[in-house]
Amino acid sequence: MISPDDLIALVRNYNPKTNADRIAEAYAFGEQMHDGQFRHSGEPYFTHPVAVAAILTEQRLDDATIITALLHDTIEDTKANYEEVARRFGNEVAMLVDGVTKLTNLQLSSRETKQAENFRKLFMAMSKDLRVILVKLADRLHNMRTIKAMRPEKQAQKARETMDIYAPLAGRMGMQWMREELEDLAFRVLNPEGRQSIIRRFVTLQRETGDVIHRITGDMRLELEKAGIEAEVFGRAKKPYSIWRKMQAKDQGFSRLSDIYGFRVITGSEEDAYRALGAIHQRWRAVPGRFKDYISQPKSNGYRSIHTTVSGRDGKRVEVQIRTRQMHDVAETGVAAHWSYRDGVRTENPFAVDPAKWIASLTEQFDAEDDHDEFLEAVKLEMYSDQVFCFTPKGDVIKLPKGATPIDFAYAIHTRIGHACVGAKVDGIRVPLWTRLRNGQSVDVITAEGQTPQVSWLEIATTGKARTAIRRALREADRARFVKLGHELARSAFEHVGKKATDKALETAARALRASGVNELLARLGAAEITAHDVVQSVYPELTTGDGDEISPRRAVIGLEPGQSFERAPCCQPLPGERIIGITYRGRGVVVHSADCDKLGEFEDQPERWMDVQWHSGTHPAVYGTTLELTIGNDAGVLGRICTLIGEKKANISDLEFVDRKPDFYRLMINVELRDVEQLHSLMLTLEAESDVAAVARFRNKPEERHYTG
């Protein structure tokens, strides 16, 4: 275990002004709190917090973060509490330790809905202070380095969580070295045979070709010296998991895989970076389509570098990254560069991004997302995305994930532009909205007044911002439509009992039915979550119970055995006044069908189940639901007139559903509550006489298909 003096020495290497006494005190307090606790490996538990602190010194982080690393498990696993940590080490450290503790308690690999909610909490913790996630990532890195001491099933769970969440998060934060190591450590657990096969092939390749890295590094240094460019050159073989992922993505074997070696050129200035690019391209042939300039178009996490792939010795492709020393510092530590110290002072790195702005840009579009699964989908889309850069007609740069479409581009400019999008031109040519955009393209979004987002756009959009905005707009549009429809249904239902759907009546109904307001009540009514009968009954219960002369629905059918109940068949929805047949069911009573129902054919060979029944003669209440199919003109006020006509015929609308929408006509199903078949015929004649009704029919189901009869 690293001693307190050794840890302080690691901090002093980049921060000579560190408060050594405070770090030593935190070391002693943490060691005391964890005394008697041991890891799965049998080592004293405190070796873990010390190792986490040492990892964070490699990123040259401030004293508060180092102390947090030493204490990050004290509140969770020892008798120490928040108040004691705050009293000894200050509120800043106590808040950071508490934040790490809360992250530790999140089971990010649990079931989807819970996982989504925990993701939301993770991003909320990050938004308060990004150093919390820096400590958590270092904590996960050390746990993965020592994972062999865990049970196999626990290893697999932690490795999958690391591969799915922590490694991509480290990459999104710009800490590429940590992402690669986390991925490789998880790969070692999840697919040890695959990893070993990659390593064996590397050994074979080195035996056959010699030290390729040393030779190419020497060649690059020589070319740069010839051009008078001072630069450092480093080379390395890519990590086994990185190579495995390329093999899977390109469906190629190891022998056919190119660019398995990577090289970095670190220059003194931005000008030298571009000069180095020229020297390398003069010496080696550039591979088309493999050039990216992240210096002129940096990533949102502050990453800047030139990427190119060239054909090196023996035609082998190698990837080269060229950047300045300051750019390299950000590339190594990502957003953590904001807290980096050098020579005792906070590093003034012009390329380090403001963590608060970075996390705000990452989470702003998710804050309004109500659905947890949609939030999780959006987060993963943003975390795993690579970037492409496209231009507006004015030359402004829009950053998008790989695979983005003009819809994503439109929403990236402004939500209002996205909502109004009807088409796009890419490099001056009209293209479909599902077109995948490429680096450097110019995109001109075509908008139209009155356009609204379409459901199909969810299949086209790839960014979390676009998908969230589309879903929100669709929900709002549905709500507005349901409120309007609910208002018509309520008006008709109240008129049916001789009352008006006044604001006061609707407010009373909203309170009675526990809706948050009138609009909520109408939206639920329009969406068929409640019936118009429920709404009227909540205000005027005495008007909806029926009078004493009406036949009770429980006694409406004659011919049943004593104590035997009945229900109407949903396939034919028989009404009083129609000839009916009863079919007995064990434990269900009798199901009553119309005598002409096609479903009765299924019971021809079971005559013992048939019952001779009939409707009771007399006045029945209007409680028997019947579905009508209507085709109506798509004009203002038509639906309202239909509802009024139904109300005037003393029928109550209990449900309404649009099944087809065309520019000129709507087809809808209306469920009305009727007294008998005579009222049905009267209602249908009235509707047929309405000029805006193109067709009206009674809806019935056949055994195998739908069919409609008039």
Tell me the fold of 621-710.
Alpha-Beta Plaits (3.30.70)
- Supply the pLDDT for residue 344: 54
Q: What mean pLDDT is predicted for residues 429-448?
A: 87
- Residue 78's SS3 state is coil
- Supply the pLDDT for residue 101: 82
Per the model's pLDDT, the better-predicted residue between 266 and 299 turns out to be 266
Sequence-ordered alpha helix ranges (H) in 455-517 = 457-460, 464-496, 503-512
- C-alpha distances (whole Å) from 120 to each of 99, 101, 373 are 14, 16, 11
Q: What mean pLDDT is predicted for residues 288-305?
A: 82
Per the model's pLDDT, the better-predicted residue between 348 and 394 turns out to be 394
Burial class, 52, CB count within 10 angstroms (exposed 0-12 / middle 13-18 / buried 19+): buried
| pLDDT tens-place string over residues 510-563 | 888 888 889 888 888 877 677 777 888 888 876 655 444 678 888 888 888 877
Domain 360-472 bears CATH identifier 3.40.1190.20: no
Contacts of 364 (CB under 8 A, 6+ apart): none
Confidence of residue 258 (pLDDT cuts 50, 70, 90): low
Assess whether pLDDT exceeds 70 at residue 127: no
Domain residue extents for the chain:
4-190, 194-346, 360-472, 553-615, 621-710
Confidence of residue 347 (pLDDT cuts 50, 70, 90): low
Q: What residues are labeled active site?
A: 76-77
Neighbours of 622 (CB within 10 A): 20
Q: Highest mean pLDDT range out of 123-127, 137-141, 397-401, 688-692?
A: 137-141
User: How many whole angstroms separate alpha carbon 323 and alpha carbon 312?
Assistant: 20
pTM: 0.53
Q: What mean pLDDT is predicted for residues 144-153?
A: 90
- Mapped to the 3 state alphabet, what secondary structure does 27-69 carry? HHHHHHHCCCCECCCCCECCHHHHHHHHHHHCCCCCHHHHHHH
Sequence-ordered alpha helix ranges (H) in 263-320 = 270-283
Assess whether pLDDT exceeds 60 at residue 362: no
Query: Considering only the top CATH level, what class is 194-346?
Result: alpha beta
Per the model's pLDDT, the better-predicted residue between 371 and 141 turns out to be 141
Q: 120 near 108, Cβ under 8 Å?
A: no
Confidence of residue 139 (pLDDT cuts 50, 70, 90): very high
The residue among 301, 224, 313 whose CA lies nearest residue 261 is: 313
112 sits in which H/E element: helix 112-128
- C-alpha distances (whole Å) from 546 to each of 323, 543, 626, 647, 675 are 84, 7, 19, 17, 11
Tell me which DSSP letter residue 228 carries: T
- Residue 444's SS3 state is strand
* Token pair belonging to 181: 């190591």
Residue percentage of the chain with pLDDT more than 70: 83
Q: 617 near 549, Cβ under 8 Å?
A: no
- Give me the residue label for tokens 């507006």: 392
| pLDDT tens-place string over residues 79-96 | 888 899 999 999 999 988
Average pLDDT, the chain: 81
> Longest C-alpha distance within the chain, in Å?
109
- Supply the pLDDT for residue 261: 79
Instruction: Look up the CATH superfamily of 4-190.
Output: Hypothetical protein af1432 (1.10.3210.10)
- Decide the pairing of beta strands 317-324 and 261-267: parallel
Sheet holding 589-594, edge to edge: 566-568, 589-594, 580-585, 610-611
User: How many whole angstroms separate alpha carbon 323 and alpha carbon 311?
Assistant: 20
- C-alpha distances (whole Å) from 665 to each of 65, 395, 619, 642, 660 are 65, 44, 37, 14, 8
- Supply the pLDDT for residue 708: 30
Confidence of residue 112 (pLDDT cuts 50, 70, 90): very low
15 sits in which H/E element: none
